Chains A and B, each alone.
Chain A
C-alpha cells in the first residue's frame, strides 16, 4: 500500500503477532469445512503496544526472596521449637528457637533494605489493612519476632550460664519463655504462608495465576528448610522430628509444585519453565529431592544429615528465587498479561456472560 515514494524507506511493518495458548498450535476452531460451528467470538489473538509491558513488575529484588526463605525458616523453626518444648527435647528446642529468631531478624533486615525509603519501615505498622497482605504480614512478623525473641533470649541466657546481670528479670524471663514460644508458634505458619498471598495478590500474571496453590508450595518449602536447618544444627538423637519434618516438607514441595503448575493457566505458567527462573526451579526440585531422600535414608549419620540439610536449605532458597524471578519476567512480557486475559474474556463471552467486560459498545 505504498502511498508516497518515501514510504519505501519505512521499515517493514511488524506482523500482528498471533500466538495461541499452550505449546500445541491448534488451528482455529473449524468452520472452513463446515464440520464445526463457527464460534461467535473468535479465538483470542495476541496484539500489544510495540511489545511493551502492560503491567509493571514490582521493584522487588533478591532481598525479598531472601526474606521469603528466611521467613519460612523462621516459621518452621519456631514450630519445631514448640514441638521440642512439648516433647522435652532441650537441644532441638534451643537450636530451633535461636534459628527462628536469627532467621526472622536477618529476614526483616532484607525486607527493609528492599524498601524505597528504608528509614520509614515503621510506617508498615501505621495501620492494619485486611486487604493488604503486606500489612498483615508486617504485623505477623512483628508478633512472631516478639515471641521468638523472648524465647531465644532465655535460651541464650541459659547457654551463657546466666552470666548476664538480669537480677529478678531472670525469673520473669523463665516464666515467659514457654508462653512466648507458643506465641511464636501461633504466628509461625501464617508467617510462612502469607508471602505466597503477597505474591499472588498482584496483577503479575504468573504469581496471580498460581494463587490457588502457591501457599502450599511455600509452606512445604518452609517446612523442608527448617527441618533441614534442624538436622544441621542438632545432634542425630534429638533431630528426628526435624528429619521427619524435612522429609514431609520435601514430599509436599514436590507434589505441590507439580499440582500448581498443572492447575495454572498454561501461558502464565510458562515463565516457571523458561530461562533463568526455569533453570533455578529445576535445580531447586533436584536439591529438594536429593536432600529429602538423604534426610530420610541417611539422617542417622551426622555428616549425611548435615549435607542433606544443606541441600534442602539451598533447594528452598532456589524455589523462592525462581518464583520471584519467573513473576518478574511474566510482568515484563505483555503476552503473559494479554493472552490469558483475552482467553478468559472470550470464554466468558462464549458462556453468554457479557455484562462484565471493561470494553463496551456503548
Chain B
C-alpha cells in the first residue's frame, strides 16, 4: 500500500519538519474563536443563511468548503458518560499501542497514583456525574496517506514542504473526486457563497466582495500562507484555552500521549487519542485529537481507511473484468460471426 500512495516521507523537501495540530478536546470550552479566526483569515464565505440546526449549540453543522474548523457540541447523560468510560477502559485493557495501562508509563503525572479502574472518581467541573458537554474543534486531518490527494487527477492537491495537504485553487477544475476520496468528509467543492466576507483588502465599503474559488475544492490549508512566515495558524493563535496546539507533528504526538496519560491517571478512563497511531488506516494524521468518547460521537469515523490502500486490488479486479469483456466479444464473434 505504502508504495502506491503518497505520504509525507516521499517528498523531496526535508528542510522542514512535518507540522500538525494537537486538539485537546478536554479543555475546549466551545467558544468557537477558532471557527471565526479561520473564516476571517482565509476569507471564507459563511455557510448558510444563518439557520439554526436545533441540535445543541452547534449551528455550523460540519466541516465543508466554507468551514475549515468546526466545533462540535455533544450533550451527554450520566449513562453515556459511563459508556464512554467503559469504552475507554476497553481500549486500555486491549493494550493498544501507546502502550499498556497508563501507570506503567513514564508520564508527567505524579508517579505512584494508580488509576482507579472504577467510575468512582470525580470529573473536573463544570461536568457533573449526571451530565456533560463534549466540545471538540474538528479540522482537516492532513493525513499521512491522504485519500483526497491520492485521487486528485489534476495534481491540484499537493503535499507541502511542511507535510500538509493543500489545494491549489488555480489548478483544481472542481471534478469532486477528492470529496469522495476523503474518509473524514472534510474537503468539499465550494458552490454557494451566499454572502461573501467583507474583508477583501481592496474592499469598497458598501459593496459586496465576490466569493473566491467558487466551483473549486476547498479545505483547511493549515494556514500554509502563515506557516511560510513562521506564524501559528489562525485557529491555534485564537484559541484561548490552548485546546488547539500547533507545532512539529512529533512534538504534538508526544504532548498528546503525555496529556492522555495524565487524564487517565486522574481517573478519566474515557480519554483517548485519535490519529496518533501511524499504523491506522490513514497512516496517522497530522492533526491529532484527544477525545473523551468514541470518535463517532463527535462525527469522526471509527475506523477510517484511505481508499487507495485497496487500489491495487481494485485495478486487478478491473483488469480481470476488462479481460472478460474482451473474451466475451471474441466469443460473440465466434458464435455469431459468419453470415
Which residues of A are interface residues toward B (Cβ below 8 A)? 1, 3, 13, 16, 40-42, 46-50, 52-60, 75-76, 79-80, 83, 86-87, 89, 114-118, 120-121, 123-124, 126-127, 129-135, 137-138, 188-190, 192-194, 196-198, 200-204, 207-208, 211-213, 215-216, 218-220, 222-223, 227, 237-238, 240-245, 248-249, 252, 331, 334, 337-338, 341-342, 344-345, 349, 354-362
Contacts and interface: CB of A to CB of B under 8 A. Distances in A.
B33 interface: no
Contacts of B298: 49
Interface in B70-105: 72, 74-75, 77-78, 80, 83, 88, 90-92, 94-99, 101-102, 105
A137 to B, nearest CB: 8
A116 B173 contact: yes
Interface residues of B, number: 120
B322 interface: yes
Contacts, number: 360
Given A83-B332, A117-B215, A52 B61 contact: yes
A360 B276 contact: yes
Contacts of A222: 325
Contacts of B317: 211-213, 215-216
22 contacts: A47-B294, A49-B74, A56-B179, A56-B180, A56-B187, A57-B179, A60-B180, A83-B333, A116-B175, A116-B191, A123-B172, A127-B153, A197-B315, A203-B182, A203-B185, A203-B304, A208-B307, A241-B329, A338-B302, A359-B96, A360-B273, A361-B260
Contacts of A60: 176, 180
Given A202-B151, A334-B296, A342 B302 contact: yes
What 8 pairs between A and B have smallest CB-CB spacing?
A116-B174, A240-B336, A116-B215, A49-B299, A362-B98, A202-B180, A189-B322, A135-B153
Given A16-B83, A40-B94, A219-B325, 20 more contacts: A49-B299, A52-B62, A54-B296, A54-B300, A59-B191, A83-B337, A86-B333, A116-B215, A124-B153, A134-B177, A189-B325, A193-B319, A193-B325, A202-B180, A212-B317, A216-B321, A341-B301, A357-B277, A358-B280, A360-B276
B255 to A, nearest CB: 12
Among A53, A56, A115, A197: residue with most chain B CB under 10 A: A56
A203 B179 CA distance: 9
Given A16-B80, A238-B339, A3 B131 contact: yes
A354 B96 contact: yes
Interface in B11-56: 53, 55-56
A262 B216 CA distance: 38
A362 B99 contact: yes
A196 B176 contact: no
A154 to B, nearest CB: 21
Contact of B154 (A127, A220, A238, A354): A127
B297 interface: yes
B324 interface: yes
Interface string B254-285: 00010011001000000011111101111001
